[in-house]
Amino acid sequence: MSTVRRARPFALAFAVAALLAGCGPAFNQSGAPSRTPTAAAPGSTGAATPSASTPTPTATPTPTASAVVVLDPGHNGGNAGAPSVINRPVPAGGFLKPCNTTGTETNAGYPEHAFTFDVAQRTAALLEARGIKVVLTRPNDVGVGPCVDRRAATANTAGAALAVSIHADGAAAGVRGFHVIEPARAPDGGNQGVLAASGKAALDLRAAFAAATGEPPATYPGALVSAGLTRRNDLAGLNLARVPAVFIECGNMRNATDAAEVTAPAWRQQAAQGIADGILTFLNAH
């Protein structure tokens, strides 16, 4: 698996949403938002269509101004070339973990780090169009790190209303789907104060992502709370969080169906929309 503004009255929500649908952020020829350069992705078969059984998320009125959201695109493009850096142990909330990892990739070679950065940029553009201040934990897809403890510190220092770490999974080829990871109590107990809010954010994100993408909630992960939702205390980004924080694994890159989706720019835009919708729902309600 694995650089944030609040809302107007509810009555304006649907007008704003309609405006965004027709006047969204500009995109470059690769299909990514033009606000920041991003890694190129291979072509694909196109976007997924939400199924009739897909849950509908809570309505998402614009949050009040000044909210800060931190988006953490997992891994980085230079990690594979810097093993001495990314293997260095760092604090992880009561124990040590490697600074970072290289992430996974599709069988055709599309890397998780490129996927996560692309989706984070798209999500940032959607949130910024709604008046949210967005902070990314890394500015590009060619660097090394940052380490997992520094990613958490970025959100804590920013006083984020929510931090979302974006990933894709590398599970067995026969299973598919997305899942959201909420924090369990860290071994050192340091994240106790944000567990309840993080759990609410996880539910909002799960509903919104499923509705926007049609991706089924995964049932294969360990620590499964319910379909598409897990709870873990072995992830530094969640253990070290002092603000509400969640992870999302957007799909299984080793599964042929999910791989076709994650490599499609149109589907990545749907994924970004789902993440943005879940964040807006959480900010408005909580």
- Residues designated catalytic: 249
Q: Report the 10 Å Cβ neighbour count for 228.
A: 26
- Measured N-to-C along each axis, helices 265-285 and 195-213 cross at an angle, to the nearest 10 degrees, of 140
| DSSP notation for 132-173 | -EEEES-S-SSS----HHHHHHHHHHHT-SEEEEEEEE---T
Side-chain-side CA neighbours of 198 within 13 Å: the count stands at 32
Contact assessment for residue 214 and residue 50, using Cβ atoms and an 8 Å cutoff: yes
Q: Cβ-count burial of 34 within 10 angstroms (0-12 exposed, 13-18 middle, 19+ buried)?
A: middle
Q: What residues contact 32, with CB distance under 8 A and at least 6 apart?
A: 38, 118, 121, 122, 265
Question: Residue 240 and residue 185: Cα distance in Å, rounded?
Answer: 10
- Beta bridge partners of residue 249, listed in sequence order: 167, 179
> What are the phi and psi torsion angles at 149 (to 5°)?
-70, -35
3-class DSSP state of 42: coil
Question: Residue 201 and residue 277: Cα distance in Å, rounded?
Answer: 11
Amino acid, res. 127 = L
Contact assessment for residue 161 and residue 6, using Cβ atoms and an 8 Å cutoff: yes
Strands lying side by side in the sheet with 229-232: 133-136, 68-73, 162-169, 245-252, 179-183, 229-232, 224-226
